[in-house]
Amino acid sequence: MCLIYPIHSEVNTVNTTCGQSFCHTHADAFDQTATEHFLADGFCRADDAIDADELEQLGELYNWCFSDAADQKVRRKALGGMDEAGRQALPQVLSPSKVLPELMSLRYVQRIRAIAERVLGQPVELRSDHMILKPAGYGVATPWHQDQAYHDSSKRYRNINFWLPLDGATVEGGCMQFVPGSHLGPILPHEYLTPGDHESAMVATGQDYWSTNAVAVPCPIGSCSLHHSYCMHYAGPNATNLPRRAYIIVLGCAPVSTHRPWHLPWLQTDRTED
């Protein structure tokens, strides 16, 4: 079961069957009410987050990152492995802003930075950015996981992930889905999608359980979803005839050392980027 909510221009909340709520608001009107709902749920959506001219510019930069011209210039990762035809089913580009610094000059980045600083109550810095492509028709699902499962277990992170689908995203196209309140719990057990392949996606235990409690957050063009790094989330396969292009920016405060580090056995032999 997944719950889908309508799109409105003002701050809106709708009660779910679990007694939780989902909030979406205009990016420039992200107020205390939206902040409180984000802190309670662990996710929400910001509408009209990027202007049409910047979306076009971002699209050109995004397409270049996945083109042959960028083969030796960007760092790529086969997040979803290969399909039966030998095609990458979920290719990813890591840290594109290191190669294309103009990405950080977008007005969009300043807009989401303002949101992050309002939510966290202090200045934030760029923690990372990446691009994920779900090819039309064969782009696979991104399994349920917590971003914190990738991070240094000796530190506590206060990060917010801003997920921008360049062409909008429907449930059929692989929009984001979340479990309300899951960011308030611990780091749950994870494993790699392909055992022994540290390039593949992280997979939390209990995939069916999380799907049963999921809230789908479709995004119209120009909107982005945002979620806490501890929030359990997922994105379905792309069953449409259009690619699903997503650009993710992670903003957050400097991590702090924990009194008692979590034991994350899946990271003992490999550490991915924070």
Are residues 213 and 28 in contact, defined by beta-carbon separation less than 8 angstroms?
no
Q: Which distant-in-sequence residues (6+ apart) come within 8 Å of 260 by Cβ? A: none
145/13 Cα distance (integer angstroms): 25
100/195 Cα distance (integer angstroms): 33
Domain layout of the chain by residue ranges: 30-217+257-267
pLDDT at 108: 98
Higher pLDDT, 1 or 108: 108
- In Å, how far are 183, 207, 231 from 192, measured between CA atoms? 21, 13, 18
Calculate what percentage of the chain has a pLDDT beyond 90.
61
Residue 68 has pLDDT above 70, yes or no: yes
pLDDT at 268: 63
pLDDT grade for 263, boundaries at 50, 70 and 90? confident
Cα of 224 vs its chain's centroid, Å: 9
pLDDT at 202: 78
Q: Of 6-15, 77-86, 174-183, 199-208, where does the model show the most confidence?
A: 174-183
- In Å, how far are 94, 144, 152, 229, 263 from 149, measured between CA atoms? 17, 11, 8, 9, 11
For the chain, helix, strand, coil in percent to 5 are 25, 30, 45
32/230 Cα distance (integer angstroms): 21
pLDDT grade for 74, boundaries at 50, 70 and 90? very high
Q: pLDDT by residue (tens digit) across 8-63?
A: 334 554 443 334 456 889 999 999 999 999 999 999 999 999 999 999 999 999 99
pLDDT at 22: 64
pLDDT at 39: 95
Using only C-alpha atoms, the chain has a radius of gyration, in whole angstroms, of 17
Residue 95 has pLDDT above 90, yes or no: yes
Q: What would the CATH number be for the domain defined by 30-217+257-267?
A: 2.60.120.620
pLDDT grade for 75, boundaries at 50, 70 and 90? very high
pLDDT at 171: 93
Mean residue pLDDT of the chain comes to: 85
Q: Global pTM?
A: 0.85
67/271 Cα distance (integer angstroms): 27
pLDDT at 88: 78
Residue 193 has pLDDT above 90, yes or no: no
User: Within 10 A of 96 (CB to CB), how many other CB atoms are there?
Assistant: 22
pLDDT at 20: 44
pLDDT grade for 87, boundaries at 50, 70 and 90? confident
Element (H, E) at 46: strand 43-47
